[in-house]
Amino acid sequence: MEQVSPASAALLQLESQAAQMHVGWLARVDAGAGGAAVDVEALRERVERRLVGAPRFRRVVARADAGEGGALVWRDDPSFAVARHVAVSDAAVTGEDELRGVIDRFLSERLARDRPLWRVLVVPRPRGGAAIVGTAHRALLAAHETTTLRELVFDRGPDGAAGAAAGSAAARAGADALALSEFRTAARMEAVTAAQREHGRIGTTLRHAAYTRTEGLLSSAPPSFLNAPPAARRGGAPGGAAAGASTTGLDRPGARTIATARLELGRLRRIAERTETELHDVVLAVAAGALRRVALAAGEQPANLRAMVPVDPAGETLLLGDAPSAVVELPVAERTPLTRLRAIHATMAAVRDPRGGRASGAPRGAGAGGGDTGPDERGARPTLLAGPPDELPSRLALAARLCNLTIPSAHGPERALQLAGAHVRALFPVTPAPDDHGLTLSTLAYGRHLHVTAAADAAAIGGVGRLPVMLADAVEELALSTGASPSRGLPQTAR
């Protein structure tokens, strides 16, 4: 028996039906040799063996003492059985619409608290292979469990480089130290201000500087149809929720529908090279272009949105939110794709190096990125949110108020994944939206593609099913404006 950490306890308390706290992935697994389907019993046996090194996946959250006042502890589940956590869909799934309905229902259900906080669903496909969805509660993953759910299910393939992306730990530590320094500076300013006379010029200057540094943390997100109450959002797009959202009747709070797309990483990198920007800048510019189309499809005037994004999208743990993030403005109102990219690059350069000037390689005319991450040409102020993993609950709660949406991004496993020798063709991240957020865009680099998942309010955000095409259009217009080579074909949108 082990006591639940304060961070995990807070994550459990933050969860509601409308703001669920599980994260996961959706994998497309090719058929095995001879078109064989996934052997679920063999999968369960593999997971059972690997659970020896991951005891937390066998434990349930319980009260140490009777009554609500007892401390929360991780306790071994006496009725634990892998079959209760690795299930097979019993629904008849022949096409993508049926598959989408099964996945939407699975991801919209809260994890049961009377069993360990994870589960996997295998959806066999008619021609062999399967779609496999896995979810785990943030509280489980925030409890310093070194084994991930993905590692319980899949094997690393023989090709590719080993290990996670290099340098991510150092980058996270550096960003954490920078954020701590910023807040200490603000605290010292306030302390010195208190020591000055009420109308002293030095005190007034320091007070203004302290307020300026914390201004971004105090202001709420701008109004947006993405954050309106569900009743106000419902029916905004042509055809209402039926236009692209799941037709499975998911109209209760917390019900989510997802859409997925795969974009060519090579093409995104060519855009970054031609514009002397970063790959992550291009990804955010593509997201801004797609969100502009979402607004127009909903009959809304495109307006800039505030998003929480990772500072350094290197490791997969960034999808959990336990890493330095920045609250930045996405120039959705800007018509020109190249101008959007330049504005995003200037903003992210200020976040990555707030004490420096214009980042190396920044496009000319992109605006200043120096100083103390102060306002850019549009008056937006990027805000750095960083700290130890124990502060994750407060950052998640803060992000729900500060931002219109979150865009978690990460690099996936560098080695191709396999399941009993079958190739894992696609790996889509799944990050449910916080309470009052109608949409979350998650991206994961795996293989030769950027895998994008849009998780939306199933009853409120219309046209979600068209988002993959909107993302493809956003890539196309950005490539044309930069002279990047044309794509060899449309991105794959099927799950």
* CATH at 25: 3.30.559.10
Can you count the helices (H) and strands (E) in the chain?
Answer: 13, 18
Phi, psi values for residue 236, rounded to 5° = -70, -40
Q: Are residues 265 and 397 in the same domain?
A: yes
According to the model, what pLDDT value does residue 219 have?
A: 64
Tokens of 52: 């020896």
Q: Are residues 25 and 134 in the same domain?
A: yes
Q: Are 434 and 170 in contact (CB under 8 A)?
A: no
Residue 59 domain boundaries: 2-153
Phi, psi values for residue 210, rounded to 5° = -65, -45
What's the rounded Cα separation, in Å, for the pair 404 and 438?
A: 8
What is the Cα Rg of the chain in Å? Answer: 23
Q: State the SS3 of 194-243.
A: HHCCCCCHHHHHHHHHHHHHHHHHHCCCCCCCCCCCHHHHCCCCCCHHHC
Domain boundary among 103, 131, 153: 153
According to the model, what pLDDT value does residue 346 have?
A: 93
Q: Are residues 237 and 367 in the same domain?
A: yes
Residue-by-residue pLDDT tens, the chain, 495 positions: 788 887 788 778 877 766 778 888 999 999 876 667 789 999 999 999 999 888 889 999 988 776 556 788 899 999 999 999 999 998 778 888 888 889 988 988 889 999 999 999 999 988 788 999 999 998 887 655 556 888 899 988 664 333 333 333 434 444 444 444 444 444 554 555 555 544 444 555 544 444 444 454 446 777 787 876 544 444 443 333 333 333 344 455 557 788 899 999 999 999 999 999 999 999 999 999 999 998 998 888 999 999 988 877 665 544 544 557 788 899 999 999 999 999 999 999 888 776 554 433 333 333 333 333 333 444 455 666 555 455 555 556 666 667 888 898 877 787 889 998 889 999 998 887 776 778 889 999 999 999 999 988 766 666 677 888 999 999 999 999 988 656 544 444 444
CATH number for the domain that contains residue 370: 3.30.559.30
Q: Are residues 326 and 473 in the same domain?
A: yes
Owner of token pair 């109209």: 251
Residue at 124 is within a domain: yes
Q: How many CA atoms lie within 13 A of 212 on its CB side?
A: 14
Q: Number of folded domains in the chain?
A: 2
Q: Are residues 457 and 325 in the same domain?
A: yes
The residues, any chain, with a CB within 8 Å of residue 4's CB and separated by 6 or more, are 12, 61, 71, 72, 73, 74, 139, 143
Q: Are residues 280 and 403 in the same domain?
A: yes
Owner of token pair 């939206």: 433
Chain centroid to CA 237: how far?
Answer: 24
According to the model, what pLDDT value does residue 381 have?
A: 57
According to the model, what pLDDT value does residue 382 have?
A: 64
Residue at 77 is within a domain: yes
Domain boundary among 115, 132, 153: 153
Q: Are 140 and 55 in contact (CB under 8 A)?
A: no
Instruction: Indicate the pTM of the whole model.
Output: 0.76
Domain boundary among 122, 153, 184: 153
According to the model, what pLDDT value does residue 231 have?
A: 46
